[in-house]
Structures are given as structure tokens and as C-alpha cells.
Chains A and B, each alone.
Chain A
Amino acid sequence: MEKIDFNLLNIVLLECVLPAADIGAHNVPTDFMWKYSFDFHISSMPNNDKAVPINISFKLYSKNDPDEKTIASIEILSYFTLSGNLTKIEHKLSVIHKLLSISLWNLQGAFAAKTEGSSLQKEIPPGVSFETYYETLKNKVSNEWK
């Protein structure tokens, strides 16, 4: 039976830009929108474990701003290691989906901590359906997870 364990070794706050003054009461669903991006790499370590650093970033924009000026932004790196062995691509994809979700949740927690006491604290970067990137993730995992 295929089995793999993972560890979250480190979380690094790469960027967090917040408004200089509290933006006060607002209604995000109608006024604001989040945009996100993510990337990751899979590399083999000397002991044959895998290193999986995941970058994920969210930026908050005003829907009414034609220039789409960023109101707030955050980017983190969650660094995972994997030990064990998987051969089936679907199993590997399942693990990567799990790590991407954890990284996103790490970012939600970090954003709430960085915005404590401000009106932005209640604006939680939303969930992402990583399954919609199935083909992209499958190709990347096939190429990098040797």
C-alpha cells in the first residue's frame, strides 16, 4: 500500500502590504474582490524525501477602481517535506491538493493575524478550488515528482 507522510517545516511571510489607515466599514462582496496566484516546486532531497515549497499570494482590489489599485496584499511560502513513496499520479495529485489547501489556510491565518484590530480582519481570503487546475497540476506533478 502506498503511503506518504508530510511535515510543514516553515512558513515565511514574503509580503504583507496593508493600508496605512484603517479603511473602516465596507462591504467586500459588493465593493472589493480578491485575486490570487500560486506556484510550487517538487524536488528530491539527498535522502530521497521530497521538498515542496508552495508560494501563494492574494491581493485585494476595489471593483470600482479602473486602475485596480491594490488595497491589501499578502504572500507566504509554506515549505513542506514528504517522506515515503507514491507511484500513482492520482495519489501524488491528492497529496499536492492537500498541501495547497494547507498553504492557503496558513495564508488565511497569517492575514487575520496581521490585520488584527482593523476592519480588514474580517475579510478572509476565500477558498480556492484547486481541482479546477487538474491538467496543469497533473503535468507539473508528472514532470517534477520523480
Chain B
Amino acid sequence: MTKLYRIGLVRGLIWQAVGTAVGFGLFTALRAVLGLAFKAEPAWVFGMMFGAIAFLVGLGAFTDWFRWAKGEATPEPEEVQDPPGALRFFGISFDHKVIGIQYVANSLLLLVVGGLFALIFRVELARAGMQFLSFLWFNTFIGLHGIVLIGSMLLGGAAIGNYTVPLLIGARDMAFPRLNAFAFWLSVPAVVLILLSMPLGGFETGWTGYPPLSARGPMGIQAFFAGVWILGWSSVLGGLNLIATILRMRAPGMKMFRMPILAWAVLATSIITLTATQLIGMSFQLVMFERLLGMPFFEPARGGNPILFQHLFWFYSHPAVYVFVLPGFGVISELLPVFARKPLFGYKWIALSSLGIAIVGFLVWAHHMFTAGMEEYLRVPFMYSTLLVAVPTGVKVFSWTATLWAGRLRFATPMLFVTGALVIFLTGGLTGPPLGVVASDLQLHDTYFVVGHFHSTMFGGYVFPFFAALYYWFPKATGRKMNEGLGKLHFWLMFPSFLVMSLGQMWVGLHGMRRRIADYDPALGIETAQLVVTIAGFLIALSILVYLYNLVTSLRRGEVAVGNVWGSRSPEWQIPSPAPAHNYPAPLQVVGEPYDYGLEGSRYVEIGSGKAVPQAGD
């Protein structure tokens, strides 16, 4: 028993459970002392926040700060030794590579959970008529599918950033290792709260949580709001850390335009997460106050306006989609040269296009509100800005195509996923303008066409590149390769199934299928297509099972791969695998350009002076 309690994660969860009960009780007792009747909802909200903080205390996330408050000294993050073996992943570690893998684990967990929610409601939708779900539970599952997968994508992007950036720029770790650990561990109690929405009664609004519907109705919405609020902090703090690291900790000689392109992508992503995330937290917080304290921010009868919520919400939630895809774009840019054996076409333009997308992405939010009833004249400028995003995005797509063109392509699993990502993102991206043009959006808004569009852009910009990254950097993290045959099976199951699912979603949307409906009129003639979409979803789930099986078996029995398995010029592949603690034995010397494949005799980095092969015990 005590052995389990020594594990940080276990301790944290126990403290969260106890803390929630204590918070609930404290609040109720306080009300009783003041002579007020018992109210479940505010007691739960107070309890949940108290419990989340208790998680962090129990885990030990505040221990160093408590010590400093008492005037005690603590070891530097570099001096702290992680416990050996797998135990290090279940408690606080300051090593960015461990934290990166923790993010991967949480992200994959959410991918599976969120995907399961989808499988459930897709079974319901496969035939017309209500088969086994109630309205409440259908609505809750679609909302949870949305937010859980959004969480998965945020954590996956953080995984990519945290694991790779110090390696890419030649740093020993991130700028703020303690903050890095803290930002990761925020995500665990947040996920617990989001899932707590189910026993607390579910919620009916979908992940967008619009009032007035979210200001009334089942209490599960409070758990959803609280969980997202906390998860947002993980994004903000992680972004801050990455920006500081990229700007200040690059190896000597690694000017901004000489660093690996993935670092540019992560930089652009972090600018967004640092500055925009607060808006979703705030919009949810205002609804929580409306429910708990009767503050009528969004209630017209008492002077409020529901459209205000939508502006605040989408001001983050649109840039958020660029947070999801920019790291994936960076992975595509990073991997294509390695597998095409050709320089990245137009490195500078690609680097700047990431920043361009991030900036323009802040100017387009109200394209989610074309029918919402905001001032009519606002629709036109938002249409212009929305279509403008296509320009830097197009630069990327054209550049990637030009990188492939005339190369010497090798199709290992990571390359399959990156190429597939390109094709899928192209499809999703091209279905953007019909939604961005107001006139056509009047027909398409709130239909399954939108669902097809964003699944396509998310799979192309995040899911496929994320898997590419997992296959690509697995040897770096473990010293083994994943099984190529299973990897190819994963791809060839997922890619066509996804295309069928996405095009099917668009098709039913064009034929009258609205969003967020538990049932549809069989007279629309879409029942067969709905069944096909459901089956495709199950095949995607199967492909992910193949991946997870591959992951587990490769960890134990994968082919040993301690060298530069992909023939990459990138710094992290010039050291042995698994990458040693603190990465490089000596500072990197930048002696060339990152992507000069095909230039005879050129190198990108040298590992300092002295020994080339780091000795054991580094």
C-alpha cells in the first residue's frame, strides 16, 4: 500500500478525491453556519477546485515552493535524479524528455477515451431512430468527444514541443524545468474534472458551451467548465516556457533562421497558447458566475447578451485550431527533407508562414458566428480575414510539394504518415473557403459539412503528423524501432478509412444532416452513408489499436536502433539513442544549414570538441 502511495500520480489522485470531499464539506458547513440552505452545485464547484489544488499538493508540485517559503534550499533541477525505469513517468520529473513522454501518455489516453465516446454515439447515429441513447447522454457524449479530443491535441502538441525543442536547439533542458513539470501535472486533475461531468449529470451544450443553454440545465457543465479552465493553464505556462527556451537557449551559432523548422512551428504555437487561452477560461468562468452567483452576463432579460460569450469564446477557440495544427505542420516540414533526401523548399518562407498563420489566426474568430446575430456589417471583414489565412497555409502546402518533387523518396512509416497528412489536410483546407464565404456558410453552418471539414483539417494537421512524430522519435526515446510492418498496417487502415469517414460526413451534411442531433429524418436518404461513416470510424479505432499493440511490443522487443536510423542531419540524431540525460556531452557547433541534403560533404552541427560518443554516466 505504501509502495503505491509513493507514486506521485497515485498520491495526487487520492488527495484529489479527499480534497474534493473536504472542499464540498467545508463549503456546505460554511453555508450552514451562515444559516443558508444546502446547495449542491456551488458545493461541487468549490470542492472540484479545492480537489484539483489538493492533487497538486499531494503530488508534490508545490513542495519546492513550500521549502523556499520556509527558507530552505532545494537542489537544482539538473541535480535531481529521476527514479530508475518506468517509475519516473508516474511522478514529478524535471527532465523535458520524461515530461514529453508523460504528455504523450496523457494525450494517447485522451485520444482513446475521446474516440470511444465517438464510437458510442456513432453507433446510435448509424441508423435512424433512437436506439439506445437518451438525448441527455447523446448530447453529453458529443460534448465530451469534442473537449476530450481537444485536450488530447493540446497535450500532443505540448509533447512534441517539450520533447524535441531542447534537443533540436542543442539545449540541456527547457528554460524552466520546474514550471515544465507543473504545467504537465495541471493536465491530470483537469482531465479528471472533465470526465466528472458524467456522474454530475452530463451537459447538453456540446463543447462550445453556449449560454443561455449552459447557464441552465444539468450540473455536469460545471465540471466541464472547471476542467477546461485548469487545462488552459497547462497551455499558457507551457507556451511561456517554450518561447523562453527557443529565444534564449539555442546553441551558439544557431541563429533563428538556422534552427530546425519544428522550433519555428513550436514558437508560433506557443505565442498563441500564451496569449489567447485566457479567453476561453474567462468565457467559461463568466457562465460559472452566472450559474453560481446570478450574474447575468449573457441573460438578455437582465441586460446581458449571449453573443458576448461567443466573441470571448471564439477569440481563443479559433486560434486554438492553429495551436492544434502548427506543431503538426512543423513535423511535416521537419520530416519531409529527411525522407526525400532534399532540402526543405523555402525554409525561410515556411518559418515565417507559421508566424503568419498565428497572427492572421487571431483576426478571424467571428467566422464561427456568421449566423449568430452579431452586427451584420461585421460579417464581411471577417470573411476577408478568414480567406486570407489560406495564403500562408498555401505557402506551406506548395513548399512541401516542392520538397517532395524530384527527391529520392523513402517510405518508412513516418514518411507514410507525413505524406498522408498532406493529402488529408489539403482536402480539409479546401473545404474551408465554402465556410469562410458568408453566403455559402448560411447553407453549411451547423451541418455535418463543418464536421467533415474540421475532422479533415485536424487529422491532416495533427493526428497523422502526431503519429509520424511518434514513429520517428520513438528510437530517440527508447533506442528501439517500432515494427515497420505494423506501422504500415496502421497507416493503410487509417488513411483510406479516414478519407471515407470525412467525405461521408461532408456528404451527409450537404444532404441536410445538422450537427449535434441524436436522430435524423430517414427521408433525407442518408442512412446508408451514416452507417458507412460509423464503420469507417471503427476501422480508424482498429488502426489505433494496431498502433498501441505495436507501441507496447516494440518497447520490449523492438529492433535495436541506437544510431542515426533515419539518416537525419538534425542534432538529436548525432548522439546515441536513447538520448542521454541532459542531451549533449558538449555544446553544439553549428557548421552549416539544417537541410542541405544533397550538398556533398556538408554538415549541420558538430558536437563540440573532444569525445564524439558520450560516455555512460553522462
Query: Do A and B come together as binding partners?
Result: no
> Interface on A for B, CB 8 Å cutoff?
none
